[in-house]
Structure 1
Amino acid sequence: MEELDKWCRICGTGLHKCGHRLDEFAERTSTTLEEMLSFCVGKKETKPNDGKAYLLCSPCKEDLLVAYKLLQLYHETTKRLFKTSTTNAFSMPNDLSCTENNKAQSVANAPDK
């Protein structure tokens, strides 16, 4: 079996000279690629010296950053839009607008459930 430090953890592509270590921080954040991967897959997936590949290729790193941002946006939007009331019914604000930053769709008079 070849050394696992030559393979991308996500896609399995061979890495010839360089790869991004999962313990490195993503640009302009205090979050490591490992933390992002664990958040996206829903469990603690990696650790150094666990016998599994610990590098990412550049395309997978970029895809991970996009996936992480998308999931963060989803969870933030879910918290904002669906607040549990005292009757355990979901309430949605009627003043949503579509913007370039949050990608929310307009909602007018959402039906009560």
Structure 2
Amino acid sequence: MTTPHPGHPEPEQPDEPRGLRGWWRRVTRPWPEAAFTELGTHAVVLDAVGEQPVAVIREVRRVTGWDLLRAKQAVDAAPTRAPEGTTTQGVVLVAGLSARSAGAACEALAGAGATARVADGW
């Protein structure tokens, strides 16, 4: 271990570390995007995953801020395809959002091939 030279101060430590550790912290940052954070009384329910579960997992992570394992478990708990004429009990992804945020989350999930809906009164 080296000691700093008396005439030279120790270099400042950055807020975010560099290298692999800093990259991993930035990649796994547990915060949802700002479009999905307005508070309200609506929930986003995932009814069916569709044909592209990897894309749905990616969108669930973006909407909720969850890590990969939790997002995969939520997507695995939802059915692959909703049967016609029946109501399925979907997986509640996010509760307590405004109508606009919940609608944006449903659109993002629909863009990934999933079937999601907005539920009121959460």
TM-score, length-normalised on structure 1?
0.31
Which structure's relative contact order is higher, taking Cα pairs within 8 Å and 6+ residues apart? 2
Q: Flag the structure with higher helix content.
A: 2
Larger C-alpha radius of gyration, 1 or 2? Answer: 2
TM-score, length-normalised on structure 2?
0.30
Q: Flag the structure with higher strand content.
A: 2
